[in-house]
């Protein structure tokens, strides 16, 4: 009987957990190394949306102009903190280079396929008896208040339909009939019936417990300090808790990916995109469907009997400061669309924040390193980490086992900026 192959996963976020899940399913012995305690990774405050509708990457036409305009508004939904940081300048130049129609049209089918695979896998995970994370397949409403936003979103909806996604353009009364318990102050919406949502806190907790029960060695408060490598092969991962060796290394690491990659002699550009969220009671005026408030770029998700409200994308180095101006911008947006929800500014202690790992072209990194034969990179998913986690984990296991891939990954080559 052959000895099981061994894998080390660096990073215990949702990408790392899903990679561990599918590697274990494929017969691998897995060790997860995480610099924190897994309790508050980036996905625990996530809006919980599974979004085939998001086939357009963050680096999209118009985002540069909007970003420049929004830089002067402390409550705006997208903000790049001005800095002479060479990493930010390099990232920004690549972002500008990729924010065009030609690039978006080229990558849209690849993103769509990755999202659809993930939704299918979420449905399978939800059927597992030990996993109950509130999977609901009722779509997401893109709500708009202005004719301009409506025209833009309906254009995207037509692109989505051409890509074979299940999408409906709705007028005000049609949207209101989908939300019978609460008043809406909007012009209309696009209903992406292809989308779904979950309660991410439950998923992270249950998946961690499942992996521990399956014998996965989870090392917390374990910081990677270096790699011992030679002959195109990583021999060991050196950490604050000692050295770990395995046949395969999977580098996730979220917003800390560039520092990890640098230790391995690689260039994988990522900038942290800070986002905020908080929970409110769903009350009597119950919201039924998750929604995105388009002009405000705010996400609303009913989950676990409450409503999670989240938003903003603040491109800046990792920092622990909570900018309450940005939280106030989120708070102000809600009653503009849902007049019954007069949301109060939460106390600082009740505001969650996390750092989305944003690549400069808005696409994740999934695949083998060209520098090290036993290193797989899986990260840089931006706002879509939770939504794309099962698909990424499945692909990691398929790459590791050298089996046929469930979907193509050429657009996500981790070596593309070398």
Domain ranges of the chain: 6-43+202-268+361-412, 53-105+133-195+271-358
**pLDDT given at position 103:** 83
What are the tens digits of pLDDT across the range 18-32?
A: 999 999 999 999 999
> Cβ(372)–Cβ(234) under 8 Å?
yes
> Cβ(418)–Cβ(370) under 8 Å?
yes
C-alpha distance from residue 404 to each of 119, 306, 395, 399, 408 (Å): 19, 41, 9, 8, 10
Q: Length of the chain, please?
A: 418
List the beta bridge partners of residue 244.
Answer: 237
User: How many Å is the maximal CA-CA distance in the chain?
Assistant: 66
Q: Based on the number of CB atoms within 10 Å of its own CB, is 192 exposed (0-12), middle (13-18) or buried (19 or more)?
A: buried
- May I ask the CATH architecture of the domain 6-43+202-268+361-412? 3-Layer(bba) Sandwich (3.50)
Q: Which of 77, 148, 135, 44 is nearest to 299 (CA)?
A: 77
Q: In what order do the strands lie in the sheet with 248-251?
A: 217-219, 29-33, 6-10, 248-251, 375-379, 365-368
- Cα Rg for the chain, rounded, in angstroms? 21
Distance CA 228, CA 217 (A): 21
Topology agreement, domain 6-43+202-268+361-412 and domain 53-105+133-195+271-358: no
Cα–chain-centroid distance for residue 61? 20
Q: Which of 314, 380, 270 is nearest to 80 (CA)?
A: 314
**pLDDT given at position 208:** 94
**pLDDT given at position 319:** 76
Indicate whether this model's pTM tops 0.75: yes
Low-confidence stretches of the chain (pLDDT < 50) are 1
What are the residues whose beta carbons fall under 8 Å from the beta carbon of 342, sequence distance 6 or more? 335
3-state secondary structure (DSSP) of residue 6: strand
Helices 385-400 and 14-25, packing angle to 10 deg: 30
Torsions phi, psi for 230 (to 5 deg): -175, 160
Distance CA 314, CA 198 (A): 24
Evaluated on CA atoms 242, 243, 246, 249, the torsion sign reads: positive
**pLDDT given at position 285:** 74
Torsion of CA 239, 200, 248, 254, to 10 degrees: -50
**pLDDT given at position 263:** 95
CATH of the domain spanning 53-105+133-195+271-358: 3.30.9.10
């Amino acid at each position: 009987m052959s000895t099981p192959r061994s894998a080390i996963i660096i990073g215990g976020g949702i990408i790392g957990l899903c990679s561990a899940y599918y590697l274990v399913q494929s017969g691998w012995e897995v060790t997860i190394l995480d610099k924190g305690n897994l309790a508050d990774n980036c996905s625990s405050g996530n809006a919980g949306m599974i979004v085939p509708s998001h086939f357009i990457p963050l680096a999209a036409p118009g985002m540069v102009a909007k970003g420049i305009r929004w830089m002067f508004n402390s409550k705006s939904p997208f903000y790049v903190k001005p800095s002479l940081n060479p990493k930010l300048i390099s990232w920004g130049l690549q972002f500008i280079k990729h924010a065009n129609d030609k690039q978006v049209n080229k990558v849209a089918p690849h993103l769509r396929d990755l999202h659809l695979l993930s939704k299918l896998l979420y449905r399978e995970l939800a059927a597992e008896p030990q996993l109950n994370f509130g999977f609901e397949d009722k779509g997401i409403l893109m709500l708009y208040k202005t004719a301009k936003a409506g025209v833009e979103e309906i254009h995207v909806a037509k692109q989505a339909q051409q890509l074979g996604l299940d999408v409906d353009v709705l007028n005000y009364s049609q949207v209101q009939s989908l939300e019978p318990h609460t008043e809406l102050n909007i012009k209309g919406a696009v209903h992406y019936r292809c989308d779904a949502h979950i309660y991410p806190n439950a998923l992270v907790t249950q998946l961690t417990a499942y992996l521990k029960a399956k014998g996965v060695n989870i090392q917390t408060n374990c910081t990677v300090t270096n790699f011992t490598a030679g002959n195109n092969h990583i021999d060991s991962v050196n950490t604050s808790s000692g050295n770990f060796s395995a046949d395969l290394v999977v580098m996730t690491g979220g917003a800390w990916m560039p520092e990890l990659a640098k230790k391995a002699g690689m260039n994988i550009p990522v900038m942290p995109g800070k986002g905020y969220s908080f929970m409110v009671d769903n009350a009597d005026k119950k919201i039924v469907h998750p929604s995105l408030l388009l002009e405000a770029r705010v996400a609303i998700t009913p989950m676990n009997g409450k409503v999670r409200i989240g938003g903003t994308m603040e491109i800046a180095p990792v920092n622990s400061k909570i900018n309450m101006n940005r939280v106030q911008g989120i708070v102000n947006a809600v009653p503009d669309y849902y007049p019954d929800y007069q949301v109060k500014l939460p106390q600082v202690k009740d505001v969650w924040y996390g750092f989305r790992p944003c690549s400069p072209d808005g696409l994740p990194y999934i695949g083998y390193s060209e520098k090290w034969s036993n290193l797989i990179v899986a990260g840089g998913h931006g706002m879509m980490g939770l939504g794309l986690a099962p698909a990424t984990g499945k692909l990691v296991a398929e790459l590791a086992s050298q089996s046929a891939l469930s979907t193509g990954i050429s657009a996500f080559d981790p070596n593309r900026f070398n």
